[in-house]
Amino acid sequence: MSFKDNVDLYVEQSAKLLKFSDDLIDHIKSTHSLIKVNVGVEIDKKIHNFTGWRAVHSEHILPSKGGMRYSINVDQDDTEALASLMTYKCAIVDIPFGGSKGGLKINPKNYTEQQLRLITKAFATKLINKGFISPAINVPAPDVGTSEKEMDWIKDTYKSLRPEDINYRGCVTGKPIHSGGINGRKEATGRGIEEVIRELFRHKDVVKETKLKNELKDNSIVIQGFGNVGSNLAEHLYNRDNAKIIAIGESNGYLYNKNGININSLNKFYKKNKTIKNKKLGKFYNQPNELIELECDILIPAALENAITIKNVKKIKTKIIIEAANGPVSFEADKELNKRGIMILPDIYVNAGGVVVSYFEWVKNISHIRFGRVEKRFQERKILDLINLIDQKTNTKTNPEVISKIVHGANEEDLAYSGLEDSMRNAFNEILEIKKRIKRSFRESTYYLSLQKIRKFYTSDGFPKR
């Protein structure tokens, strides 16, 4: 079964609960437009050919939004599957975007930075000229194998092709700050997942249902993948929640420490050496696939799709799975895990923090002003006025050190994180309400909520409804 088939089965499952007609379900599942391009780039006096795709799953709200993946495993089916996940994801967190995704079949590690720049610019030129990238229609972001660097190159390409577009910076998100990026975007997906976990632990009935220990810090955590999502999540959990992360996996193996890995030391080591193989921080095992089978309380796949399939599902020994990656559990494995009472918080909700903060970045770009720029000092003055008033009325004098701690107007990162937390917590509660009402799994309830929201845009007399 392909990745797209898997996603479609999840959609069908919940659409039937909502009593959607078969033709409506077919329409919702379908990719609305798709482009395949071949890009030729001269490298070392030889033309190298690269194949890429950009899929638009939905455009009921524009622009359509979704990451750009660079991997040798990229293909059309995966791109369509990932684009469809974006549609459902944006609906869950009330982000006014359609769903899209793109990818280039390439192993970026085989090319220099200069070569990657040329390849990215050639790829972006094709997509822009065919109407598959623009601030109003379709906005990429980083995904596996790409980062703010690639986004910056795409933005530069767009700017040179469309200099008259005053909103050119909004043609991609996840850019460097100096190029119109937003503080907090790089960490947003990981931080958003931390908010999901925090919200889970505020619901003691759910914690009890999953048989987790009452406090987050008392549960053992295993994370697969130490890329953008995995490393930022681990850092937040370790520093803000005192979490015990007993194992971290990468494609060459995994690091294990039953007392918990020191994530700050690992991050420092990884940045320098590009590997998690550090014998001082734990024991390193060369079998990457065994990580997912480790006994733990919370399992977080944060690498790639199909980490848990019918082949290894019986070996899973966790209480809850939190899907940080897109599509890490196959449909059949999901059924088996449900039978065993292992709760799964699904990708279309869990990793939505990235697109939430991307939305803030896009709004910043088209409104041409940094969040907090206008009101920060005003807020500070108001808090100071209040302290002075209290001092006056109570005939006291607040310590200047205390004042400097309290008087803090919200800056861009504060506001982005506040909006992120609000989005993740609201969605959790909306899903939980549905779960209690329909008495189905967390995933079925999440798709149910998403489809319920999307349905409003689909009509029998043409799509999209304008």
Q: Which stretch binds ligand NAD (CB under 6 A): 127-135, 221-229, 257-265, 372-380?
A: 221-229
Site for ligand NAD in 294-333 (CB under 6 A): 302-304, 324-326
Could you say whether residue 66 binds ligand NAD (CB under 6 A)? no
- Residue identified by tokens 């690498």 is 303
Could you say whether residue 74 binds ligand NAD (CB under 6 A)? no
CA distance 303 to 256: 17
Cα distances from 408 to residues 32, 191, 382, 390, 415, in angstroms, run 47, 22, 10, 18, 12
Among 229, 261, 296, 337, indicate the residue that binds ligand NAD (CB under 6 A): 229
Q: How far apart are the first and last CA of the chain?
A: 35
Among 13, 351, 445, 446, indicate the residue that binds ligand NAD (CB under 6 A): 351
Among 98, 103, 145, 184, indicate the residue that binds ligand NAD (CB under 6 A): 145
Question: Could you tell me the smallest distance in angstroms from the CB atom of residue 23 to ligand NAD?
Answer: 30
Nearer to ligand NAD, 15 or 305 (CB): 305
CA distance 420 to 231: 18
CA distance 314 to 296: 15
How remote is the C-alpha of 177 from its chain's centroid? 19
- What residue is closest to ligand NAD based on CB? 227
Annotation says 101 is catalytic? yes
Could you say whether residue 189 binds ligand NAD (CB under 6 A)? yes
Nearer to ligand NAD, 207 or 233 (CB): 233
Residue of 101, 155, 244, 435 marked catalytic: 101
Site for ligand NAD in 246-285 (CB under 6 A): 249-251
Nearer to ligand NAD, 208 or 268 (CB): 268
Question: Could you tell me the smallest distance in angstroms from the CB atom of residue 465 to ligand NAD?
Answer: 28
Could you say whether residue 143 binds ligand NAD (CB under 6 A)? yes
Could you say whether residue 359 binds ligand NAD (CB under 6 A)? no
Q: Applying CB under 6 A, which residues contact ligand NAD?
A: 142-145, 189, 224-230, 249-251, 288, 302-304, 324-326, 351, 354
Q: Which residues are marked as active site? A: 101
